[in-house]
Amino acid sequence: MKRPHKALLRSLIGLALLAAVVALADPARVLAQFHQAHLGWLLTGLLAAIASNVVSALRWRALARWLGADMPVRDACRWYFQAIGLNVLLPGAVVGGDIYRAVVLRRAGQDTLASSWSVVLDRVSGLWMLLALGGLGAAACAPQLAPLLHMPSDMLAAVVLAGTALWLALPWCLPLVLRRWSAGWAWLKPLQAMAERPDFSAQVGWQAAASAGVQVLSAAALAAGALSLGIQQPVQVWAFVVAPIFLMAALPVSVGGWGTREAAAVMALAPFGVASAAAVGAALLYGLFALAQGALGALAFGLPRQGGALMKNP
């Protein structure tokens, strides 16, 4: 199947899934959720979403500089929000935006290897912290989740906390793992060289702190959007549900996560008594936050640029 046909198929799958989820939740009830939306909470959610991506851009810049690919703060933010615009407009979830970031950094005169690895490791660090936050949330929500798994809540909390602790420690174990397993994998050699640097642990600590800030702000954006619709849940619930919702939204089977995000929201929030129409409404609002930022990113393509080789070849 040709690439344009694959893109069209992904778009249709995402739209079909979104239509099915909205239909099952009852379109009238979903629409009623939006009629009662509180403007203050909506603006709070949008600002939290924007702040999350600003921190993401700064995290990417710090990682790129550590790898030897420098860029001004302004360019890092501009390129990051442009990537969000591509993610919203193109099939493939975050893939298109990530490729764009690597390309513009390389075209700005930076090392190709550093440009590519900066994007890959930036995305991995976000996923790493998202799963860790979800694990902590799951442990705190064990009383609600344990019956679904037919497990005692204390046992579930203990298992999830132990797994989360091991998951958080994984990056600091990377040098030892790579020494043992990278010999037969040439593509791992650059990663092994990074892990052997004396400042590797400090850089991992910075990535962890920045990624935690990104995920907390993203969870706050989702929770604020839900609060605008009258959905009130404890902090630990939002810490748990962001993992399945954001992971499903990142799957390369739709455009901008539409459809997969809403389906995940219905399933993740159901154990906490949130009606499907309300869950769909909250997920749609988070998607609209991304759409608004995507519009800003799209506008950034046309902004005046100053100096540099990239300005001649965008």
Q: Band of the pLDDT at 174, cuts 50, 70, 90? A: confident
Q: Say if CB 102 and CB 116 are below 8 A apart.
A: yes
Mean pLDDT (the chain) is 86
**Helix or strand or coil: residue 91?**
strand
DSSP code, position 92: S
Quote the pLDDT of residue 310.
Answer: 37
56 falls within a domain? no
Q: Is residue 199 part of a domain?
A: yes
| Residue 26, pLDDT score | 81
CB of 289 within 8 A of CB of 256? no
What pLDDT is recorded for position 253? 74
The length of the chain is 314
Q: pTM for the full model?
A: 0.88
304: DSSP letter: -
Q: Which residue would you say has higher pLDDT here, 96 or 196?
A: 196
Q: Which residue is associated with the tokens 């910075």?
A: 206
- For position 170, what pLDDT does the model report? 93
Q: Which residues are CB-neighbours of 81 under 8 A, at least 6 positions away?
A: 53, 57, 293, 296, 297, 300
Rounded to whole angstroms, how far apart are CA atoms 117 and 137?
A: 30
Task: Please check whether residue 5 lies inside any domain of the structure.
Answer: no
Is the pLDDT at 269 greater than 50? The verdict is yes
Residue 121 has pLDDT above 80, yes or no: yes
* Residue 301: band (very low, low, confident or very high) from pLDDT cuts 50, 70, 90: low
In a domain, 218, yes or no: yes
Q: Is residue 85 part of a domain?
A: no
- Token pair in block for residue 131: 């799963």
Nearest to 50 by CA among 172, 167, 214, 237: 214
With bands split at pLDDT 50, 70 and 90, how would you rate the model's confidence at 182?
A: low
CB 57 within 8 A of CB 122: no
Question: What is the phi/psi pair of residue 91, to 5°?
Answer: -65, 155
Name residues whose C-beta falls within 8 Å of residue 63's C-beta, 6 or more positions apart in sequence.
Answer: 118, 121, 122, 125, 203, 207
| Overall number of domains in the chain | 1
Task: Give percent of the chain above pLDDT 90.
Answer: 59
pLDDT of 127 > 70? The answer is yes
The mean pLDDT value for 145-172 works out to 95
Residue 130 lies in a domain: yes
Q: Is residue 162 part of a domain?
A: yes
Q: In the 3-class helix/strand/coil scheme, how is 120-167 assigned residue by residue?
A: HHHHHHHHHHHHHHHHHHHHHCHHHHHHHHCCCHHHHHHHHHHHHHHH
pLDDT higher at 178 or 200? 200
Cα separations (Å) of 196 from 59, 165, 283?
Answer: 21, 23, 41
What mean pLDDT is predicted for residues 63-76? 93
pLDDT at 243 over 90: yes
- pLDDT exceeds cutoff 70 at 9: no
pLDDT at position 238: 97
Q: What percent of the chain has pLDDT over 70?
A: 87
Structural domain includes residue 239: yes
> What number of helices (H) and strands (E) belong to the chain?
14, 0
b (16+ CB within 10 A) / e for 108-146: bebeeebbbbbbebbbebbbbbbbbbbbbbbbbbbebbb
Which of the four pLDDT bands, split at 50, 70 and 90, describes residue 5? low
Q: By residue range, what is the domain housing residue 224?
A: 10-50+124-301
